[in-house]
Amino acid sequence: MPAMDMNVCHDGVIDEQDIAHYAARAAGGTGMVITSASAVAFPVGATSLKEPGLSDDRFIPGLRALADAVHRAGSLLCVQATHHGKVARIDVAQGRPMLVPSTPIVDRDLEALRDNTAEELTRMAAVSGGMKSTYREATEEDLAWVIDQFAQAARRIMEAGADAIEVHCAHGYLLGGFLSRADNRRTDRWGGSLENRARLVCETIKAVRAEVGDRLAILVRVAGQEFGEEGSLTTEETVRAARLMEAAGADAIHVTAWGRNAFRDFTKGPLPNQVAAYRDYARQVKAAVGIPVIAVGRMLPEVAEDTLASGDADFVAMGRQLLADPDLVNKIRAGRRESVRPCINCYVCVEQNFWDDTPVCAVNPALADEGKAVLLQVTSPRHVVVVGGGPAGMETARVSRERGHRVTLVEAGDRLGGSAWFSQLTTPANGPLLDWQKHELERLGVVVLLGHRATPESLADLRADAVVVATGAHRGLPPVPGAALPHVQTGDTLRALLTGADGAVGATRTMRWAARAGRITGLTRNPKLIARATRTILPVGKHVVVIGGSLVGLELAEFMAERGKSVTVLESGPQLGLPMAMPRRWEAVRQTGQHGVTLLRNAVVEEITPSTVRYRHQDGVAAAPADLVVVASEVEAAAPLAKQLADRGIPVDVVGDASDVGYIQGAIHSAWRVANTL
Ligand SMILES: Cc1cc2nc3c(=O)[nH]c(=O)nc-3n(C[C@H](O)[C@H](O)[C@H](O)COP(=O)(O)O)c2cc1C
Ligand code: SF4
């Protein structure tokens, strides 16, 4: 498990919350757990007061308790050690200049931030106390001090009984900054040639070795490539640097990558959205060194296995997947791959780090609160009937059944997944979550009734002791003239069309014909086939207007643009992409723009005509041509069935978008909460 900030320490001290988190992953079969980045000179050079500190012996007891817990659970502990350099927000907050190789001169593209709310911007600024960043170019004395801080940190890690230290030489932190030409413009012995730029990390490795001998393994984390700015580290440089690190005494190289502008390139690195994104960098480093190499970056189990088998790396690290499911390794080892709860690559976890908070996992509500992972068994099982087979309904059914209830899930449609089934077309990573949920329902013996439209009477027939309504949001039409025209689709009717289900109303004749053909051929049951077939035929005309530039609106716009449509997105608010987690939102806005979609913020729709959508924005009134209009706004929570049941005195709970529109994270978390009270 690679380093992932949990931000739960108190003034740098590791306590129970961290220990429970790491011990759960250790108990889940992980071979070695690497802690979050820990500050060697804490609070100097730290990015959070909630990250572990390594600068004083007072931190040893916490580290020791962690090492003991991880060892008891059968795993090894490595502590990631760093000086955050120009990302040391605590230096800024406490009025110190940040230590850097050279004063940064890059004029960073901050365009993405316009899609952040004022509240988000305020929270981010608050981490540095709203203070302005200042820098100090490291002197010889500073660097001697940094090296010694690493060595002393290593001693403390060793005395705590951990097994390894990971020297962080990537992600723009101090050592990584020295290695990269883009950050290091020095002309002394610490800058210029690669040998000089790698001197700081190599001297650090040697000092650590001198301090700990063979009692700790020394890993070095380095970027296989940096992206996005002049002078970014290249793979060829990394390969040469890795050789120097090996010669200096490193025991293993952990190959990550880094997008230099977090507001633009974060989804390239350090958290890639591509599967096995850095495998080739690991392969190139491995070919050049004799020590083990660790590959990371959306290493899904199958590709990880292949990476090891082909000799591209000696170890694989899996980050977000272990946030999503701490038992990943044990499940795979036991031949239960399908029971692994998958990470959906939504970036909800890491968003919290932008404002110094603790990661939240969209699919694992027990992250950072491991006590929650233990589901309390019920003493008197009841018959729980869940209405609605989307992520919220399936999670309610799963958790209720795990707790010992008898569970029936009823779904009006012909398949499980709800609107998330449709979302796979635009966001394929949602598919494995639905597959996992379906698999678990089957494994646990939940009775699933498809094609069953629940009514108070039908629920009485099922003799439900408890009813949970998870019927999703209501998707309406905007209150403007022309909204009822046949070429205006909501998310629901468009889904019905593309999946060949009932409810495909109002569509043009060609669209209805295509949907019928899809249903007859079975094509509309397979998301991959729909995605592929619609690239050849999507009879909706050339011009598409999407009303609403939120998560769904942007994804639909990209879907249409990828299929050759000329697309305009009209968002009435000032930001696009809400409520997607920040790094993904920035990427989605950028991608959609790159696909040629016209993106308009603050554009309020006034009228829909048979061929245009008229809207008002800062330059007055304009019209966008539209053969198809997709309404992705007007989404609101609604649970009419729950009201009918409540009126009859039948106890009922509501979860997911039916209760509060919160997409997959809201669905899973609300379902978990309610299912634990039944
Ligand atoms: C919430 C979160 C915090 C992270 N914090 C760190 C960190 O402290 N140090 C580090 O080197 N990488 C950090 N990373 C990057 C991970 O170590 C890992 O390289 C990255 O998530 C890619 O692996 P994955 O696709 O398996 O998640 C973090 C990732 C996440 C999700
Ligand atoms: S929050 Fe999203 S990206 Fe992060 S681990 Fe959970 S599912 Fe994966």
Q: Identify the residue whose C-alpha is closest to ligand 2 atom 4.
A: 349
pLDDT at 518 over 90: no
Q: What is the pLDDT of residues 593-645, one digit of tens each?
A: 999 999 999 999 999 999 999 999 998 999 999 999 999 999 999 999 999 99
* Ligand 2 atom closest to the CA of 342, numbered from 1: 7
Mean pLDDT of 258-283: 95
* Ligand 1 atom closest to the CA of 221, numbered from 1: 11
Q: At 78, is the pLDDT very low, low, confident or very high (cuts 50, 70, 90)?
A: very high
327 lines ligand 1 (CB under 6 A): no
Select from 216, 223, 205 the least CA-distant residue to 169. 223
| 16-371: CATH number | 3.20.20.70
What does the mean pLDDT of the chain come to? 94
pLDDT at 567 over 60: yes
What is the CA(411)–ligand 2 centre distance, in A?
27
Q: Identify the residue whose C-alpha is closest to ligand 1 atom 18.
A: 319
Residue 162 is predicted with a pLDDT of 98
Q: At 377, is the pLDDT very low, low, confident or very high (cuts 50, 70, 90)?
A: very high
Question: Which ligand is the nearest neighbour of the Cα of 347?
Answer: 2
Residue 292 is predicted with a pLDDT of 98
Dmax (CA) for the chain in angstroms is 82
For residue 100 the two structure tokens come to: 């850097």
What is the CA(172)–ligand 1 centre distance, in A?
14
Residue 500 is predicted with a pLDDT of 67
664 lines ligand 2 (CB under 6 A): no
223 lines ligand 2 (CB under 6 A): no
343 lines ligand 2 (CB under 6 A): yes
pLDDT at 511 over 70: no
318 lines ligand 2 (CB under 6 A): no
The β-bridge partners of 450 are 411
48 lines ligand 1 (CB under 6 A): no
Count CB atoms within 10 A of the CB of residue 653.
22
The structure's pTM equals 0.96
What is the CA(319)–ligand 2 centre distance, in A?
9
The pairing of beta strand 135-137 with beta strand 98-100: parallel
38, 26 contact by CB (below 8 A): no
| 375-473+638-675: CATH number | 3.40.50.720
* Ligand 2 atom closest to the CA of 359, numbered from 1: 1
4 lines ligand 1 (CB under 6 A): yes
As a whole number of angstroms, the distance between CA 508 and CA 208 comes to 70
Q: Identify the residue whose C-alpha is closest to ligand 2 atom 6.
A: 361
Q: What is the pLDDT of residues 100-144, one digit of tens each?
A: 999 998 778 899 999 999 999 999 999 988 899 999 999 999 999
pLDDT at 502 over 70: no
Residue 260 is predicted with a pLDDT of 94
630, 545 contact by CB (below 8 A): yes
What is the CA(184)–ligand 2 centre distance, in A?
34
Mean pLDDT of 569-594: 95
Residue 265 is predicted with a pLDDT of 92
363 lines ligand 2 (CB under 6 A): yes
What is the CA(36)–ligand 1 centre distance, in A?
8
For residue 536 the two structure tokens come to: 């050849």
What is the CA(670)–ligand 2 centre distance, in A?
16
345 lines ligand 2 (CB under 6 A): yes
* Residue-range domain boundaries for the chain: 16-371, 375-473+638-675, 488-635
Q: Identify the residue whose C-alpha is closest to ligand 1 atom 2.
A: 4
Mean pLDDT of 285-311: 98
CATH topology of domain 488-635: FAD/NAD(P)-binding domain (3.50.50)
As a whole number of angstroms, the distance between CA 118 and CA 363 comes to 27
What is the CA(147)–ligand 1 centre distance, in A?
24
Mean pLDDT of 347-357: 96
Alpha helices per DSSP H over 445-550 = 456-461, 491-499, 509-521, 527-536
